[in-house]
Amino acid sequence: MLKPGIHQSQSSKTGLFLLHKPFINGNGTAWLPIWSKPSFRYTHTNIHTGSITSNIKAIASTATEKSIRVKAVVTVKPTVRGFLSNLGIERGLDDIKDLLGKTLLLELVSTELDSTTGLEKDTIQGYAHKARSENGGVKYETDFEVPIDFGEVGAVLVENEHHSEMFVEDIEIDGLPRGPVKVTCRSWVHSKFDSPVKRVFFTNKSYLPSQTPSALRRLRKEDLKNLRGNRQGERKKFERIYDYDVYNDIGDPDKSPELKRPVFGGKDHPYPRRCRTGRPRCDTDPLSEKRTNRFYVPRDECFSEIKQLTFSAKTMYSVLKVLVPSLGMVIGDKNLGFPYFTAIDSLFTEGVNLVSEENQEGFLTAIMPRLVKSITETGGDVLRFETPETMNRDKFFWFRDEEFARQTLAGLNPYSIRLVTEWPLKSQLDPAIYGPPESAITTEMIEEEIGGLMSVDKAIKQKKLFILDYHDLLLPFVSKVRQIEGTTLYGSRALFFLTKDGTLRPLAIELTRPPMDGKPQWKQAFKPSWHSTDFWLWRLAKAHVLAHDSGYHQLVSHWLRTHCVTEPYVIATNRQLSVMHPIYALLHPHFRYTLEINALAREALINADGVIETAFTPRKYAMEICSAAYDIEWRFDQQSLPADLITRGMAVEDPAAPHGLRLTIEDYPFANDGLVLWDAIQKWVTDYINHYYSDPSLVESDQELQAWWTEIRTVGHADKKDEPWWPDLKTTKDLIDIITTIVWVTSGHHAAVNFGQYAFAGYFPNRPTIARTNMPTEDPSEEEWKTFLKKPERALLQCFPSQLQATRVMAVLDILSNHSPDEEYLGEKMEPSWGEDPVIKAAFERFHERLKELDRIVDERNADNSLKNRLGAGVVPYELLKPFSQPGVTGKGVPYSISI
C-alpha cells in the first residue's frame, strides 16, 4: 500500500573513507563520505513539506539471546530516467553505496506500545544492500535481529541513500513468529539529498481509524497531515503534496494577449478544482498561473516512466508535442478544406508525408507504429490512418439517417438523448435577449413526418418522442463564437421518433441564431427529404448538430463528467483517507494516472490554442461552455447510471424489472449493458463496505471518512457546496451509493465515452468536430445561393473541418481509443490489500465472475437479430462495456481508472 509517510531523523555523523583511484582531488587522493551506523532518537522537527514527529528510538540491529533473525527483501524497479540509468558522477557515488551495502535504510515499526512506558517501541534499523537482479527488478536485502517481544510489524520506514529516486515495488519480511509480512509500496522514494525526511509504508492490512493499532495511530494522522502540505511555494517534482486550486492555467497571457482565458472555478465560471502546482502568477495577468514546461502532479501519480513505451499517456504526449506541429508544417494553410470526399479517403490509403527534424527521424514510427509508417525509398515518415471499423463495415455508414439515430443509443455519446415530456418545445432563455422562445419545429411538421400514425400528444403520452437538445446551452455563446474566423454556431435541437421495431428515426432539426449585429432572431427547422435541395440542407443541418454533439461529448460527457469531476475525489482521498483506510484501498485503483492525464489535458488539449480550441466549434469559448454545463447540469446525485437514465426520462423505477428499472427504449445498448455492469459494481462495493462497517454507526463516527466527504463537497466542488442535492453520509447505504457512483464514473462511464472515439469519429464526416460555415438559407446572397445549388457537395465539405483540424483530431482520437499492453481492467486483478482478507478476497472473486458473465451477455445480445440497435448489415456491434480487452484500438474494455 502506498502513501507518503515522512519521518525525519537528526543527521548522522559523517566519516571519511580513503580510496586510491575513483574520485581524485588535487593532491591525488580520493575522499568519499561514508555514514556511520546511526543510533539516534527522532525529534520534533518541522519540515516545510511536512513531517511526522516522533519520539521513537531507532536502534541498530544486533544479535541477543532474546531476539530472532528476520530478513527483509526490497524489490526496486528499473526506470527510464531513474537511478539505474543515471550515468553521471552521482551514479558513481550510488554504486559505491551499493558496494558498501548502504543503499536503503530500513526501520521496522511495531504495532504495539511498550508495556512499561506506554510509548511507541524503538524501531529496529538495518541497511539493505544490493543482492541480485531478478524478474525485471533489483533485490535489496538486510537482516534484522528483532526482540521476541517486538510484536507485529505495522510499518517500515525507508530512507533512500542514493542521489536519485527509486521506485520501490514491495518489501517482504520473513522470519517473524506470525509468518511473513508483505508491504506493497509501488511508490517513488525520493533521495535523502532532496529531502531529509523518511517514507513510511504501512503493511497491507486495512483499519478503520478507530481500529488502528495504538502504536500506529500517530503515524497515521501525521502521514495525512504531511500529504496536505502547507499551500506554500511551488511544488517540486519529488513531492507528493495534494492540494486544490482553480483552473487558472488554461490561458497563456504572457505569450500573447490573445491567449488570455478566464479563471475557471469561482462565481463567474463555476468549475471543479484541480491539483495545486504553486507556480508563480503571470506577468501580464495576476489571476493566471504561468505555464511552465512542467505541470506538477504528486509523484506517485506519474507512473508512466516505469510502464512500456506504448503507455498511452506517453504516446499522447508525443502526438501533441511532435506529430501535431509536424502536421502544421506539412499543411501550411490551416483553413484549407478537403476538395473531394476522395481526398478524405486518401488519409486511410496514401496518408500525409511528415516533416521530421534530423534527430527525430524514426521516432514517431517507433512510438506510434499504428499511425506513422516509414517510407523505405526516402527514409521519411508518413501519417496513414487505419480504417475505422465503422467505415470498414460500411463505407457509407455516416450518410444514413438510421445510423445517425442509432448512435444516440449505441454510439460515442449515449448520454445526451432524452425523452420529450412537454410540447410545444420552448426555450427557457430570456426572450428580450434571445428572441421568441417558441420552437420552429411545429406540431403539423411532426405529425406529417410520422405519417399520421398518431398525434404529437399521443406520441408524447406513449413516450415516442426523443431529443438531442443543445439549444439553450449554446445559444448564449452564438454571437461570441461567430466573431471568430473559420467557425460558426447555432442553438440546436434534433427530434427523433421511436418506431415499432425499437429503433429511432430522425424527424427534424432546428437551428437558431439569436438577435445580433442588428439582425432579428433567425431560426429554421429542417426535415429529411427526397427533394435534392431539401436533402442537402438536411445533410448540412445534420453536420451542425453532429458538431454540437461532438463538442458536448468531448467537453461535457467525457472531460467534465469523468476526468474533471474525479480530480477532487483523487485529491480528497489522498488528503483525508489514510492508506490504511479500507475505503482508500477500495478507491485507489480507480484513481491511477488520472491526475497525470488531466495535467496533460491542461497542457495541450483544453488549453488556449490547444486541440479542442483549434478544432471544435466553440473555439476559445469551449471551456466557458463546459463551465456553463457544470453550473446548469452537473449534480452528484445524478451521476449514477440509474439516476442519469431516470433524469433523462430513459427509464423509470420498477421493482419488478431487471435492475429495478424499466427502460423507455428497450433496445438501448449502452443502458442495457451498463446496468449489468452497474449492478456488478454495486454488489462488490456492498460486500466490501458491509464487511468493514458491520455496525452502521461506524460510518458517522469515522472521522477520516466524514472529512473526506466534506472536503469533496465544500472544497473540491466548492462552487456547488451549498446545493441541497448532495447526499448525506450517515449510513452504510449512503456510503455504498456514493462509492458505487464514483467507481462507475471512473470505469463504466469513462469507458463508454472514450474507447469508441476512433471507431465512431475516426472517419470525421460521421462526427465532425466543427461546422465552419452558416447554413445556406441563413441570409444568403443571390450568388451564395446559386453556388450552393450548383455544387452542394462543396458546401458540405467547406462546412466540415479543415485538413489540419481533421488530421490533428483523428491522430488524437486514435491514441485516446487505445489500450496499452499493461492496461488494468476492472475486476481483472486483485489489489494486494484485498487479498489479505479472506472475506474481501471471496467478494472480489464473485465480482470477477460477474464481469465474465457480462462479457458473455454482451456477445449474446450482439447476436440477437431482434435487437436492431446492436445488429444489422454493416453495423458495428456494441461492445464498449465489455469488461476485458486485448491491447490496441478494440472498441471494448473497461479499465479501473481514467488513465487516458
What are the residue numbers of the active site? 558, 563, 750, 754, 900
State the Cα–Cα distance between residues 90 and 289, nearest whole angstrom: 34
Please return the burial class of 170, using the count of CB atoms within 10 Å of its CB with bins 0-12, 13-18 and 19+. Answer: buried
Question: Which parts of 36-174 are beta strand (E)?
Answer: 40-41, 57-60, 67-77, 104-110, 123-134, 137-147, 153-160, 166-174
Reduce the DSSP state of residue 828 to 3 states and report it: coil
DSSP symbol at 321: I
Could you tell me which residues are beta bridge partners of residue 137?
134
Q: At CB < 8 A and 24+ separation, what contacts does 340-349 make?
A: 340/797, 341/765, 341/793, 341/797, 343/803, 344/763, 344/764, 344/765, 344/806, 347/384, 347/385, 347/806, 347/807, 347/810, 348/384, 348/385, 348/386, 348/387, 348/391, 349/384
With contact defined as beta carbons under 8 Å apart, do 546 and 767 qualify? yes
Q: At CB < 8 A and 24+ separation, what contacts does 320-325 make?
A: 320/600, 320/603, 320/604, 320/605, 320/611, 320/812, 321/604, 322/360, 322/363, 322/364, 323/354, 323/364, 323/368, 323/371, 323/372, 323/383, 323/811, 324/611, 324/808, 324/811
CA dihedral 640, 642, 645, 646 (to 10 degrees): -110
- Whether the bond into 147 is cis, omega within 30 of 0: no
State the Cα–Cα distance between residues 773 and 762, nearest whole angstrom: 22
Residue 881's Cβ-side half-sphere holds a number of Cα atoms within 13 Å equal to 31
Please name the residues in contact with 533: beta carbons below 8 A apart, sequence gap of 6 or more. 789, 792
Q: What is the distance, to the nearest Å, from the Cα of residue 692 to the centroid of all Cα atoms in its chain?
A: 28
State the Cα–Cα distance between residues 75 and 291, nearest whole angstrom: 37
Residue 824's Cβ-side half-sphere holds a number of Cα atoms within 13 Å equal to 16
The amino acid at residue 349 is T
Reduce the DSSP state of residue 863 to 3 states and report it: coil
State the Cα–Cα distance between residues 168 and 493, nearest whole angstrom: 54
Nearest CA among 514, 508, 513 for reference residue 493? 508
Looking up cell 463528467, which residue turns up? Answer: 561
Residue 600 φ/ψ, nearest 5 degrees: -65, -35
State the Cα–Cα distance between residues 200 and 226, nearest whole angstrom: 12
Kind and range of the H or E run holding 879:
none
With contact defined as beta carbons under 8 Å apart, do 29 and 15 qualify? no
Most distant CA pair in the chain: distance in Å? 104
State the Cα–Cα distance between residues 742 and 734, nearest whole angstrom: 13
State the Cα–Cα distance between residues 308 and 80, nearest whole angstrom: 10
Task: For residue 612, give the C-alpha cell.
Answer: 479542442
With contact defined as beta carbons under 8 Å apart, do 223 and 5 qualify? yes
Sign of CA dihedral 271, 277, 282, 287: positive
With contact defined as beta carbons under 8 Å apart, do 403 and 397 qualify? yes
State the Cα–Cα distance between residues 221 and 347, nearest whole angstrom: 57
- State the first-to-last Cα distance of the chain, in angstroms, to the nearest integer: 23
